[in-house]
Amino acid sequence: MAKACYIHIPFCESICSYCDFCKVFYREDLAASYLERLEQEIKQKYQGEVFDTLYFGGGTPSSLSPSLLKRLFSLCSLFSLAPSCEITMEANIESLTEEKIKMMKEFGVNRVSLGMETTVSSLQQVLGRPFSKESFEKTCSLLRKYGISNINVDLMYALPFETMEDLKTDLDFLCSLQVPHISTYSLILEEHTKLKIQKIKPIAEELDLAMYQEIEKRLKQEGYQHYEISNFSKEGYLSRHNLTYWKNEEYYGFGLGAASYLFPYRRGNTKSLTKYLQGEFSFSEEKVLREDAMDYEVMLGLRLMKGIDKKAFQKKYGVCLSSVYDYSSLVEKKVLKETSSFVALKQEYYYVLNEVIIAFLDRKRETVANKCF
């Protein structure tokens, strides 16, 4: 049963050069029509579950005008939310006014994710992302003024032309904010983005790795727990919504391009705004076989520092992890560490996670696994 919900708001006031998410330039009339269709989709698909987490992503949800933001919150009255529901909204400081923060607080938003990416002006120009340290600090103060202290800040690194000194400058400012959660992303040059079209080249892998290690070292010094490959938090501030994904649990996704996982189906919505506004919401559907679901469990679980929960795996699939995958050699080589409860990636191998996942899945005990279904 799904206990998490994601709502996609595809509107942005500017388009970043690296972004490949579903997004369009903000227009009030389009946004109003979009919310009407969003309500229709929710009424069609939502089955009445109680949500423990609700996440507004984008795009830029804070780009909505106050009247449309109010409309968005009102249609969410269709949901049953747990009293302790974690409600997150992504926002940019350019569009997040005090009026909107007050509305968010009244609705129940208790977590905000802010895009910083970089403070270095030359790199901001590469990303097409304006930034002001003063405005960013002011926004964090306003959020805290209204009792929203659970703030995440996004940091992007391995940018074209970025130096280690640039990264340290960003880390200095980021740590000065004293926010309880930080998400870090190594730039990926995705197809159909401005950077890819401009044929920008990625930085050297050695520098990318060195930057990742610098981030780990600095944030550990500042008291952050590295709990997922790209995420760091202070005690008690792990992202409950994102843990839903990493634990391979079920979730709803509403809106343009949103994905849902309601076992045994993974569904994706159309990425065409025209079709969405015509009420053609769904685009793809995949029936997930039990064997594939276990592979997803491994791939996602290894992203977590705690690793794959062996007891949860057995409870969910009726078989023990080691009867399906022969990962003993990875433990012997000290790539993985194993306890009675978890199998986890050792810290020195975080950067080559994908290679470890491939090696793990290649060790599936086919004859045993086939008997499990």
DSSP readout, 76-101? GGGSEEEEEEEEEEEE-TTT--HHHH
| pTM of the complete model | 0.93
Taking only the tens place, the pLDDT of each residue in 260-305 is 999 999 999 999 999 999 999 999 999 999 999 999 999 999 999 9
Task: With CA atoms as reference, report the closest residue to 359 among 339, 329, 338.
Answer: 329
pLDDT of residue 190: 54
Same domain (yes/no): 183, 87: yes
Q: What does the pLDDT average to over 96-122?
A: 96
Same domain (yes/no): 177, 74: yes
Least confident of 78-87, 242-251, 362-371: 362-371
Same domain (yes/no): 16, 162: yes
Tell me whether residue 258 is in a domain.
Answer: no
Residue type, 129: R
pLDDT of residue 129: 76
Cα end-to-end span (Å), the chain: 21
Q: Which tokens go with 172?
A: 């200095």
Taking only the tens place, the pLDDT of each residue in 163-206 is 999 999 999 999 999 999 999 998 865 555 555 556 666 678 89
pLDDT of residue 1: 85
Q: Which of 221, 246, 271 is the last residue of a domain?
A: 246
- 179 to each of 173, 237, 355, how far by Cα in Å? 11, 10, 32
Give the separation between CA 13 and CA 11, rounded to whole angstroms: 7
Give the separation between CA 345 and CA 305, rounded to whole angstroms: 7
Give the separation between CA 235 and CA 225, rounded to whole angstroms: 7
Tell me whether residue 302 is in a domain.
Answer: no
Tell me whether residue 344 is in a domain.
Answer: yes
Answer yes or no: is pLDDT of 155 > 80. yes
pLDDT of residue 371: 42
Task: With CA atoms as reference, report the closest residue to 298 among 243, 356, 338, 254.
Answer: 356
Q: What does the pLDDT average to over 151-158?
A: 96
At a CB cut-off of 8 Å and minimum separation 6, what does 62 contact? 69, 89, 90, 91, 92, 95, 96, 100
Tell me whether residue 251 is in a domain.
Answer: no
Give the separation between CA 277 and CA 280, rounded to whole angstroms: 7
Same domain (yes/no): 104, 229: yes
Q: Quickly state the pLDDT bin for 82 (edges 50, 70, 90).
A: very high
Q: Which residue has the higher pLDDT, 96 or 12?
A: 96
pLDDT of residue 123: 86
Residue type, 44: Q
Q: Quickly state the pLDDT bin for 16 (edges 50, 70, 90).
A: low
Give the separation between CA 323 and CA 369, rounded to whole angstroms: 7
Backbone angles phi, psi at 189, to 5 degrees: -85, 90
Domain count for the chain, please give it.
2
**Percent over 70 (pLDDT), the chain:** 91
Q: Which of 215, 246, 277 is the last residue of a domain?
A: 246
pLDDT of residue 125: 80
Tell me whether residue 122 is in a domain.
Answer: yes
pLDDT of residue 363: 87
Q: What is the CATH number of the domain that holds 61?
A: 3.80.30.20
Tell me whether residue 86 is in a domain.
Answer: yes
Same domain (yes/no): 217, 101: yes
Same domain (yes/no): 242, 322: no
Q: What does the pLDDT average to over 74-86?
A: 97
Q: What does the pLDDT average to over 127-141?
A: 90
pLDDT of residue 369: 42
Tell me whether residue 216 is in a domain.
Answer: yes
Give the separation between CA 338 and CA 10, rounded to whole angstroms: 42
Same domain (yes/no): 212, 118: yes
User: Which ranges in 222-352 belong to alpha helices (H)?
Assistant: 240-246, 273-277, 290-301, 310-317, 321-324, 328-332
Q: Taking the C-alpha atoms of 149, 152, 153 and 157 in order, what is their torsion angle to the nearest 10 degrees?
A: 160
Same domain (yes/no): 363, 237: no
Give the bridge partners for 260, in sequence order. 267
Same domain (yes/no): 74, 215: yes
Same domain (yes/no): 111, 217: yes
HSE, side-chain direction, 13 A CA sphere, residue 175: 16
Q: What is the DSSP letter of 236?
A: T
Tell me whether residue 298 is in a domain.
Answer: no
Q: Which tokens go with 23?
A: 């997004």
Q: How many CB atoms lie within 10 A of CB 71?
A: 18
Same domain (yes/no): 177, 100: yes
Q: Residue 348 CA to chain centroid, in angstroms?
A: 23
Placement of tokens 């997150």 in the chain: 88
Q: Which of 202, 224, 246 is the last residue of a domain?
A: 246
Q: In what order do the strands lie in the sheet with 265-269?
A: 259-262, 265-269, 282-287
pLDDT of residue 203: 78
Give the separation between CA 337 and CA 328, rounded to whole angstroms: 10
Same domain (yes/no): 109, 240: yes
Range of the domain at 99: 4-246
Q: Which tokens go with 135?
A: 């405005």
Q: Residue 221 CA to chain centroid, in angstroms?
A: 24
